[in-house]
Structures are given as structure tokens and as C-alpha cells.
Amino acid sequence: GCPSAAPDCASTPAPAVSVVIPVYNEEESVDLLCEKLHASLSRLGRSYEILLVDDGSSDRTWELLVANTRKIPHLRALRFRRNFGQTAAMSAGFHAARGDVVVTLDADLQNDPADIPKLLERIDAGFDVVSGWRKDRKDTFINRRLPSIIANGLISKMTGVALHDYGCTLKAYRREVIQNVHLYGEMHRFIPALASWVGGRIDEVVVTHHARQFGKSKYGISRTFRVVLDLLTVKFLLHYSTRPIQVFGRIGLACGAVAALMLGALLVDRVFLLADPHLLKRPFWVITPLMMMAFCMQFISMGLLAEMQIRTYHESQQKPIYVIRETAESPGA
């Protein structure tokens, strides 16, 4: 069916490829981005559409997007009422996309649209998700590349899907892989792991990475911490979402084992009078470890239960995580 963002799409056949790009305060790069996309996609030899999602930009980004819809074919632009974040923008693009293959990339021109055919070749070879690898990354080491190296190692280890560069936005997905994926937080980067969980075939190709030409990065080192928290959620969803007793039970058994050891030590001390004064007369030794374990269990449980609850809230009501303000598109797009 037609996505709600494009009510007139029934009159045009669905394209083979949809390119989805979140855009936020990129007025300096928008025109060049649209030109490069048109140059690359027009040589594909297959039908395509370009979806640019303005994530509540405060500069002239939307005006420039609208202007480009008048001169660049197959271009559609969506505008949020406020800034909802990259994952929400990606989700809006996925919902509006009509292509059999959906390609994503960043709007800052650090990803090269000329690499899109590389990803499509691997999709044609039978893979369901093809991820770009910025092997020669043009970013600063301390605040960009080092956190990325650490995050990629953690994600690969915890999800069991080894990729060099989870953070690279340049990816290609088969439509059936992402059409039922619900995204929250920073979850868009974990789609390869989620796809693998349902049997998808994952591949990775080296792509070009350019130094940033305009403006400054929207992402800082603080984003790494949010990614780590989302990684814990993904780990839970991948392995324990249908059997939560496994994770909660293990924590409970571990705490029970510690409690049993402590009680045993107290009993031995009480019977054989090993300590002077007795351990039972030392409140800090007895109470503090128990309290810390209780706090740990309580906060982990609350976090995971809240995550499950918010997913139920969104998915049971089909409640979107974004609100579109207006749309614009090329004639016949």
C-alpha cells in the first residue's frame, strides 16, 4: 500500500530503489547532496526515488529541499514539526519508502552517493542487508574514531553479528527486512543485528568516506553512552524477549548464591566464634552488600520492564515516534 506521506503514489509504479536521508541543519550541503544523488542514481539503470526527511531544521534546509524538488526528479521531502532525532527521521523514511531496496546515508556528504551501486550489487547477490565500512575514515581519532572502534567491538561481541562499522549510515536493506522493524532510541544502527536474528544475510563493503566540508558534526562522545544503553536493550530483545525468566532468573540465582554464602559465613562465625566482635555485630558488612545487590536488581529490572512497556505502548497503538509537518515532491515522483 501507499505510505501515508505519499497519498498519490497509487498512480505511479513503485520504484526499485528508495534512498532515505535524514537531514538536520544542512543548508550548506543540501544542493550539492541532491546533485550528487541525481548523478549517481540516474546511472543505475533502475527506477528510484529519493526521500529527504527534514528533522526539524532551524535554518534554511527546508526551503532548499522544496526548491530541489522542483528541479531534481523523483525527489520527495518530508518535514517534521520539531527535532525528533536521527532514528525517528530514519523510521519516517522507511515508512514512506516504496522501493524493493531501501538505501540510507548521511546528508553531510561524508558518505558518497557514488557508492550506492556497490551496495546494490551485494543485494543483487542475495544479501538482505549490506553495510558500509568506512575503512579510511576521515574523522578525528579521540572523540569520533576511538569511541566508534570500542562501540563496534561491543556491538559485534554482544549481538554475534561482526561488522567493522555499525555506525556507518550508508547501508542497503531489502524492504521485507525493515518493513516490520520498529525503531526507538539509537536503534537504527542495530538493524543488521535485528535482521540477522530473523535469518537475514548480512554483508559489508568498503565505502569512501570524505572529510566534512560544511558545518560541524551533530554527534559527540555522549552519543556513545546512549548507544551502549541501547545495546543492552538489543541484547535483551535478541536473546531474552520471549523468555525473560532466563535473564531475571540468572540474576536472581546469582544474588541468591551470594546471599547464601554470606549467610553461611555468618552461621560459621556464630557457631565457631571466629571473629571478634562477631560479624553479626558489624552492620556495614552485613547490610551494605545486600542493599547494593537489591539496588542493582531493582534498577536493571525497572529499565528492562520499562523498555518492554514503551514498546507495547507504541506498537499496540501503532503510535508514531514523529509528526510530519508538511511534504513536497517532484512532479510525478
Where residue 323 falls among pLDDT bands split at 50, 70, 90?
low
pLDDT of residue 11: 57
pLDDT of residue 241: 61
Phi/psi at 245 (5° precision): -60, -25
pLDDT above 60 (res 10) = no
Sequence letter at residue 90: M
Quote the CA–CA distance of 112 and 148 in Å, as a whole number.
20
More confident residue, 16 or 267: 16
Give the number of other CB atoms < 10 A from CB of residue 219: 13
pLDDT of residue 1: 42
Residue 25: partners with Cβ closer than 8 Å, 6 or more residues away: 57, 58, 59, 61, 215, 218
Q: Which of 96-110, 154-168, 247-261 has the lowest mean pLDDT?
A: 247-261
Q: Which of 98-102, 164-168, 215-219, 271-275 has the lowest mean pLDDT?
A: 215-219
Q: Are 134 and 209 in contact (CB under 8 A)?
A: yes
Residue spans of alpha helices (H) in 57-137: 61-69, 86-96, 116-124
Cβ-in-10-Å burial (0-12, 13-18, 19+) of 174 comes to buried
Where residue 133 falls among pLDDT bands split at 50, 70, 90?
very high
Q: Which three cell numbers stand for residue 66?
A: 522544496
How far from chain centre, in Å, is Cα 239? 18
Q: What are the tens digits of pLDDT across the range 145-194?
A: 787 888 888 888 888 888 999 889 999 999 988 876 777 766 778 888 88
